[in-house]
A and B are shown apart, each in its own frame.
Chain A
Amino acid sequence: MAAAVSLFRQYLAQRLLASAVTLLGVSVIVFLMVRVLPGDPAQVLAGLLATEEDVARLRVDLGLDQPLHIQYGVFLARLAHGNLGRSARTSQPVLEELKPRLRATLTLAVVSAVLASFAGVAAGAFAATRPYSRFDYLLSLVTLFGVSMPTYWLGLMLIIAFAVHLNWLPAAGSEGTASLILPTLTLAAFSVALIARMTRASMLEVLGQEYVRTARAKGLGETLVVARHALRNALVPILTVIGLQFGTLLGGAVLTESVFGWPGMGLLLIESIFSRDYAMVQGIVLVFSSLFILTNLAVDLLYVAIDPRIRYA
């Protein structure tokens, strides 16, 4: 037991270190983003409306007369203090502007992830217990459509159906629960399809195992066999997909937010790209990537909780 605990600690340390290295790599790319743009980085970061004094002050602030590695050191030190710079558009600190947007994006992404996980696992597991049935074929067709459909197009089609023709739901905005329905459905569609596909494949494999036959032979009800014996063992690959899907959801949020005018980080990113507010672009890209890296770390650690057979390698 003690050996297992120490192995787990070692694994935890390794994974934390790998995540930290990746985060550092992301910070290098984000730092370089502005430096590779043609022209003066201080002018780029200060924005198009900045006065010459603003640019000069920023140049000293950022240490742009220093060598690149010193500049990166300064960038990293500021980052450690939560300083992501100031928005060129509003002159407000990037972090302050980001906070409410992050909340909106997380609401959308988490609700979509929960919906996609439950719907995907339920549909996939149900299909696996009735392979090659009518439901199974229908699910295959629906999931194939789900992974091939452009998210933004699905969103627009839902607006045409539910907001324009039926007039049941608002076409855009973020007022009340009703406005969350269409963006969530849009964002979750792709992930539901992938999770359902993975669950079906993983469950089919597990349902053929001997311990499932044993569970049935000792007279357990089918629901119990599926829920307790099969699904739990099929969960590791499903969890991988769900973890990866959270990243897809974050990336997809950019398009979904743009379609529905949802005031999250994705919409802000697009606005910032168009207005060349690079400090904001850097901040948003950094936050998106950090969230994704942390989710992957959490999924890796969850494996161990679900399946003790997994070696910490």
Chain B
Amino acid sequence: MSPSILESATPERAIVEVTPAGRPALRRVREGWQRFRRHRTAMAGLVLLVGLFALALAAPLLTSHNPERQSLSVALRPLSLAHPLGTDHLGRDMLARLLYGGRLSLLIGFLAVGLGVVIGVPLGAVSGFQGGLTDLVIQRFADILLSFPGFLLALSLVAILGVGLQNVIISVGISAVPSFIRLVRGSVLSIREQVYVQAAHAIGQRRSVIIFRHVLPNAMAPVIVQATLSLGFAILVAAGLGFLGLGVQAPTPEWGTMLGEGRQYIFRAPGLTMYPGLVIFLAVLGFNLFGDGLRDALDPRMSRA
């Protein structure tokens, strides 16, 4: 072992090295925010997302219509004062369905990506840190999940689990797992060679403590960026399942399901497909812009050319 590692193996030194909290961390956050603010497109993404969240949260204030109440006498009405975005084939107010649907679509995105992080990050960390057979098994598992092209993994899982809100979240969440495994494994492989990790080994800390207290916190920046970008992907996939009729079931409003229902009326009422698609597009665009900016702010080395 080199002298430098032995030097840093004293407990005091190790604590200074491994504790990400404190002033340097605060300064990093401030610097990151300043970099983020200079990123005009990232700010545009943030504004877009804040706007969409505000609209979804303020739904009861913005419309007095019940998004699920049917009224066949006013079916497929064009835009009017009473129904600013018209009504659907069952006479339900489109604006109310879009606003309330946003709550569910955004929630599905967050819960699915949360599931992906909760499963993928520890697996990636253990894979990178342990190496050997554990690494091989976890990597083959990720390979197998990744060999279901794109949308197909979530679709296959829904085919097994059945339709409905909970199964959509599980299916989309599991589809996001392999990318987190790969990402965290890569970060951990480089972090485990750092002096402060070797120092933690040297003072006899347990492996689990080293992984979860010292290695993982330092591997989180790319995870946060990936999670943000995955939110856009999760919303797209969940809406895709809804569009095919395999997602959240009617009459609950959800953007993808609305788009799927509206396609039958594409000739008579194109708005029924235009509006839900537009909000899905804006949400995904927002997360993509925000994620790109976050990448530049949190880790300038990762930013694209």
| A interface residues, Cβ below 8 angstroms from B | 18, 21-23, 25-26, 29, 33, 36-37, 144-145, 147-153, 156-157, 159-160, 164, 197, 201-202, 204-205, 247-248, 250-252, 254-255, 258-259, 269-270, 273-274, 281, 285, 288-289, 291-293, 296
- Contact across chains for A152 and B240 when beta carbons are under 8 A apart: yes
Q: Which chain A residues lie closer than 8 Å to B263 at the CB level?
A: 156, 259
Q: Mark contacts of B122-144 with chain A using CB atoms, 8 A cut-off: 1 yes-contact digit, 0 otherwise.
A: 00000000000000000011011
A sample of 10 inter-chain contacts (CB < 8 A) reads A33-B159, A37-B160, A150-B239, A150-B284, A151-B240, A156-B277, A164-B267, A205-B305, A254-B151, A281-B156
Contact A36 B160 (CB under 8 A): yes
- As a 0/1 sequence over residues 254 to 289 of chain B, the CB contacts with chain A under 8 angstroms (1 = contact) are 000001000100110010011011101100110011
Give the secondary structure class of B's interface. helix
How many chain B residues touch A (CB < 8 A): the figure is 41
Q: Are B281 and A150 in contact (CB under 8 A)?
A: yes
Q: Is the CB of A252 within 8 A of B150?
A: yes
Take A36-B160, A204-B305 as given contacts and tell me if A251 and B281 are in contact as well, using a CB distance cutoff of 8 Å.
no
Contacts known (A22-B140, A33-B160, A285-B152); A159 close to B266, Cβ less than 8 A = yes
Q: Are B267 and A250 in contact (CB under 8 A)?
A: no
Residues of A within 8 A of B149 (CB): 247-248, 250-251, 288-289, 291-292
- Chain A residues lying within 8 Å of B150, measured Cβ to Cβ, are 247-248, 250-252
Does A273 contact B267, Cβ atoms closer than 8 Å?
A: no
Partner-A contacts on B (CB < 8 A):
140-141, 143-144, 147-152, 155-156, 158-160, 232, 236, 239-240, 243-246, 259, 263, 266-267, 270, 273-274, 276-278, 280-281, 284-285, 288-289, 304-305
Q: How far is it, in angstroms, between the C-alpha of A285 and the C-alpha of B289 when the chains are bound?
A: 33
Q: Are A255 and B266 interface neighbours, CB within 8 A?
A: no
Contact partners of A36 in chain B: CB under 8 A: 160
- When C-beta atoms are compared, the residue in chain A nearest to B150 turns out to be A251
* A22–B266 touching, CB < 8 Å: no
Contacts of A274 in B (CB 8 A): 245
Taken together as a complex, chains A and B put the C-alpha atoms of A259 and B305 apart, in Å, by 36
- Contacts A150-B239, A153-B280, A292-B148 supplied; 20 other A-B pairs, CB < 8 Å: A18-B143, A22-B143, A22-B144, A26-B148, A33-B156, A33-B159, A149-B284, A150-B240, A153-B278, A153-B281, A156-B277, A160-B273, A164-B266, A164-B267, A197-B304, A250-B152, A251-B148, A252-B151, A255-B243, A289-B152
Once the chains bind, are A153 and B151 in contact (CB under 8 Å)? no
The interface centre, meaning the residue of A147, A152, A281 with most chain B CB atoms within 10 A of its CB, is: A152
Taking a contact as CB atoms under 8 Å apart, the answer to whether A160 and B240 are in contact is: no
A280 to chain B, nearest CB (A): 11
Judging by beta carbons under 8 Å apart, are A152 and B259 in contact? yes
* Chain B residues whose CB sits within 8 angstroms of the CB of A255 once the complex forms: 151, 240, 243-244
Please state if A153 and B259 are interface contacts (CB–CB under 8 Å). Answer: yes
| B232 to A, closest residue via Cβ | A148
A90→B150 CA distance, assembly (Å):
29
On whether the beta carbons of B281 and A149 are closer than 8 Å, the reply is yes
A13 to B158 alpha-carbon distance, docked (Å): 36
Query: Complex formed: what's the CA distance from A289 to B153 in Å?
Result: 10
In the bound assembly, the distance between CA atoms of A288 and B159 in angstroms comes to 15
Chain A neighbourhood of B284, CB < 8 A: 148-150
Residue of B nearest to A128 (CB): B305
Closest to A165 in B: B270
The CA of A310 and the CA of B284, in the complex, are separated in Å by 36
Knowing A33-B160, A201-B304, A285-B148 touch, does A148 contact B259 (C-beta < 8 A)?
Answer: no
CB contacts (< 8 Å) of A159 on chain B: these are 266
By a CB distance below 8 angstroms, the chain A residues around B277 are 150, 152-153, 156-157
Of chain B, the residue at the smallest CB distance from A147 is B288
Contacts of B289 in A (CB 8 A): 144
- A144 contacts B285, CB within 8 Å? yes
Chain B residue nearest to A36 in the complex (CB) = B160
How long is the Cα–Cα vector from A145 to B277 in the complex, in angstroms?
A: 13
B5 to chain A minimum Cβ distance, whole angstroms, is 28
> In the assembled complex, which residues on chain B have CB atoms less than 8 Å from the CB atom of A292?
147-149
**Closest B residue by C-beta to A200:** B305
Which residue of A148, A202, A205, A270 contacts B244 across the interface (Cβ within 8 Å)? A270
Q: Is the CB of A269 within 8 A of B155?
A: yes
Q: Are A289 and B147 in contact (CB under 8 A)?
A: yes
- Beta-carbon nearest neighbor of B246 in chain A: A273
CB closest residue in chain A, given B236: A150
- A25 engages B143 (CB within 8 Å): yes
Instruction: Name the B residues within 8 Å of A247 (CB-CB).
Output: 149-150
- Residues from chain B with a CB closer than 8 A to the CB of A202 are 305
Please determine whether B305 and A26 come into contact, CB atoms closer than 8 angstroms. Answer: no
Report yes or no: A150 in contact with B285, Cβ–Cβ below 8 A.
no
| Residues on B with beta carbons closer than 8 Å to the beta carbon of A251 | 148-152
Known A-B contacts A150-B280, A153-B277, A205-B305; A293 and B232 likewise in contact (beta carbons under 8 Å): no
Known: A144-B289, A160-B270, A164-B266. A289 touches B148 (CB 8 A): yes
- Closest CB in chain B relative to A233 CB, distance in Å: 14
| Bound CA span A198–B210, Å | 37
Distance in angstroms between the alpha carbons of A289 and B245 in the assembled complex: 23
Pairwise interchain contact A29-B305, C-beta atoms closer than 8 A? no
User: For residue A147, which residues in chain B have a CB less than 8 angstroms away from its CB?
Assistant: 288
Q: A26-B147, A156-B277 are in contact. Are A288 and B240 (CB under 8 A)?
A: no
Task: Tell me whether B288 and A148 are in contact (CB under 8 A).
Answer: yes
Which among B140, B156, B245, B278 is the interface contact of A285 at CB below 8 angstroms?
A: B156
Docked pose: A164 CA to B150 CA in angstroms:
30
**A23 closest partner in B (C-beta):** B147
A156–B285 CB distance below 8 A: no
Q: Which residues of B contact A291 (CB under 8 A)?
A: 149
